[in-house]
Amino acid sequence: MDLIGWAIFIVALLVSVMLHETGHFLVAKRFGMKVTRYFVGFGPTIWSTWRGDTEYGIKALPLGGFVKIVGMHSLDDPDDPADELQAFRSHPAWQRILVLCAGSATHFLLALLLVFGLALGVGIANDNVTQLGEISPCVPTSLAAYNNGTCGSDAPASPAKLAGLRAGDTVTAFDGHPVSTFNQLGDAIRAVPAGSPVTLTVRRDGKLVTLHTKLASVSGRSGSYLGIGPAVLFQVASPLGAIEYSGTTFGQVLVGSAQAVGSLPGGLSKLFAKNRSSTEAGQVTSVVGAAEATGAEVGSNAGWQYKVSFVLLLIASLNIFVGAFNMLPLLPLDGGHIAAIVYERIRAWFARLRGRPDPGLVNMAKLVPVSFSLFLVIVVFSLVLVAADIVNPLQLTGG
């Protein structure tokens, strides 16, 4: 099941990338720009065919894809001088900006459709409950066993099992303190030292029951361990409710993404810390971390609604983040090219005021070192993040 989760994430990522390129492709075609190539993957060509002026094909390495629009950068020259009129750079600024924005727009549209479909088809999860849906039978012997939800033959019984907790119980108080959400309960559990005796008050069959146990610990995981999972309740939304939920989720992810990016400078030094999950470094993950989380969730004992909700929201969040990040006014991102066009038009406006000719396109050759430097920074940071997710993976939340 873990492999199925990985496969789901990888396919979703590839589809998202190709939809990004399809956005550029469709808008460029709409404005009469010449698009010569539309390929899935990179490396040697496995298969291709021509339709009109465009070659469609599949490359050997399924690591994304690309679209080649004639004259998309001022450094490009058409193979045929007659194509200059159809070149990207020969079109009005507003058309070029729309072509560049189309990639991120497809990410945003996909995310909204996924969340909308989730609300209508599966339902909206109610996380503001402390009802238990899963009781772990054991204390995992390692962090890997904890993330995979597996028990070894020599694993001791979990504190939750020893206490007599059952799926369907609703926890109303932990150690004498009322709790109303599962996140609040989880924080309370992790705050108490392992080995400490605790008391839980649960509502079972309409009656309050008091249970006692001692918290345990999982090697490599910070905080104490009880061995419980939430029973997330889902309610199918109306079309208007689904629209509202989509907009709210989009805004929350967008704000959260901005906060995560803002916390990166402070989190870099903590990517390999034991308590990474509770620091700024716990707010970011690589595609490896996201794929591992998907695999672990699909392979868990959670209900199908929770699994589908987790996967769809993860894919939607990834698309929102990528779409927003791509619009940053930095080269070689699309936002950087948009900024260059805006600067181009501002410069042309000042030239007209002074009675001078239009200076023309921005000389991208001068910006190549800047573009390459930023690209190198992104690659290096991505590799560091991948390494952190491999040797110091984020711990899944829970008690």
- Asked if 222 and 113 count as a contact pair (C-beta separation under 8 A), the reply is no
Both 153 and 214 in a single domain? yes
Cα–Cα distance, 217 to 223 (Å, whole number): 7
Contacts for 263-268 with beta carbons within 8 Å, 24 or more apart? 268/384
Q: For the whole prediction, is pTM greater than 0.85?
A: no
Confidence grade of residue 83 (pLDDT, cut at 50, 70, 90): confident
Both 227 and 298 in a single domain? no
**pLDDT averaged over every residue in the chain:** 85
Cα distances (Å, whole numbers) of residue 288 to 18, 213, 299, 337: 19, 37, 16, 29
Cα–Cα distance, 20 to 321 (Å, whole number): 13
Confidence grade of residue 286 (pLDDT, cut at 50, 70, 90): confident
Question: Which H helix or E strand runs over 154?
Answer: none
Both 149 and 225 in a single domain? yes
pLDDT over 90 for what percent of the chain?
A: 43
pLDDT tens digits, one per residue of 189-245:
988 898 999 999 999 999 999 999 999 988 877 788 998 888 877 889 999 999 999
398 pLDDT higher than 70 = no
Give the CATH number, domain containing residue 195.
Answer: 2.30.42.10
Both 315 and 250 in a single domain? yes
Tokens encoding 227: 């061995």
Closest C-alpha among 157, 47, 105 to residue 334? 105
Both 138 and 221 in a single domain? yes
Both 220 and 274 in a single domain? no
342 pLDDT higher than 60 = yes
Cα–Cα distance, 333 to 139 (Å, whole number): 46
Cis before 369? omega within 30: no
Q: Check residue 332 and give its pLDDT.
A: 83
Closest C-alpha among 24, 40, 148 to residue 96? 24
Both 166 and 223 in a single domain? yes
Tokens 């193979």, residue?
79
Cα–Cα distance, 395 to 375 (Å, whole number): 30
Q: Structural domain of residue 167, as residue ranges?
A: 132-231
Confidence grade of residue 126 (pLDDT, cut at 50, 70, 90): confident
Q: Tell me the backbone φ, ψ of residue 48, rounded to 5 degrees.
A: -155, 160
Cα dihedral 94, 96, 100, 106 sign: positive
Cα–Cα distance, 169 to 46 (Å, whole number): 56
Closest C-alpha among 210, 204, 218, 333 to residue 277? 218
Number of domains in the chain: 2
Domain membership of residue 331 (yes or no) is: no
Cβ neighbours of 166 (radius 10 Å): 15
Question: Which H helix or E strand runs over 61?
Answer: strand 54-69
The last residue of a domain, from among 231, 256, 277:
231
Q: Check residue 80 and give its pLDDT.
A: 65
- Alpha carbon dihedral 364, 368, 374, 380, in 10-degree steps, equals 150
Domain membership of residue 102 (yes or no) is: no
The last residue of a domain, from among 291, 306, 323:
323
Q: Check residue 302 and give its pLDDT.
A: 67
Tokens encoding 135: 């009781």
Cα–Cα distance, 147 to 394 (Å, whole number): 9
Q: Check residue 79 and give its pLDDT.
A: 58
Domain membership of residue 307 (yes or no) is: yes
Bridge partners (DSSP) of residue 302 are: none
Both 199 and 251 in a single domain? no
Tokens encoding 395: 């711990």
The last residue of a domain, from among 302, 323, 344:
323
Domain membership of residue 138 (yes or no) is: yes
List the catalytic residue out of 21, 134, 297, 344.
Answer: 21
Domain membership of residue 318 (yes or no) is: yes
Domain membership of residue 158 (yes or no) is: yes
Both 259 and 289 in a single domain? yes
Both 217 and 273 in a single domain? no
pLDDT tens digits, one per residue of 346-379:
999 999 999 999 888 887 777 778 888 888 888 8
Domain membership of residue 92 (yes or no) is: no
Both 166 and 208 in a single domain? yes
pLDDT tens digits, one per residue of 238-272:
999 999 999 999 999 999 888 877 777 777 777 77
Tokens encoding 222: 């910070």
Domain membership of residue 293 (yes or no) is: yes
- Asked if 188 and 181 count as a contact pair (C-beta separation under 8 A), the reply is no
Both 207 and 250 in a single domain? no
pLDDT over 70 for what percent of the chain?
A: 92
Catalytic (active site) residue 21: yes
